[in-house]
Amino acid sequence: GAGVSQSPSNKVTEKGKDVELRCDPISGHTALYWYRQSLGQGLEFLIYFQGNSAPDKSGLPSDRFSAERTGGSVSTLTIQRTQQEDSAVYLCASSLGGGMKETQYFGPGTRLLVL
Report the interface residues with another protein, using CB under 8 A. Answer: 4, 33, 35, 41-45, 48, 50, 55-56, 58-59, 91, 93, 98, 100-101, 103-109
Tell me how far, at minimum, the Cβ of 71 lies from another protein, in Å. 20
Q: For residues 49 and 32, is the Cβ–Cβ distance under 8 A?
A: yes
Residue 59 or 80: which CB sits closer to another protein?
Answer: 59
Q: How far is the CB of 56 from another protein (least distance, A)?
A: 3
User: Minimum CB separation from another protein for residue 101, in Å?
Assistant: 4
Instruction: Tell me how far, at minimum, the Cβ of 49 lies from another protein, in Å.
Output: 10
CB 23 within 8 A of CB 42: no
By beta-carbon proximity to another protein, the closer residue of 30 and 80 is 30
Q: Which is nearer to another protein, 36 or 73 (CB)?
A: 36
Show Cβ contacts of residue 101 under 8 Å, excluding neighbours closer than 6 positions: none
Integer distance in angstroms from the first to the last C-alpha of the chain?
A: 33
For 98, counting Cβ atoms within 10 Å of its Cβ (0-12 exposed, 13-18 middle, 19+ buried), the class is middle
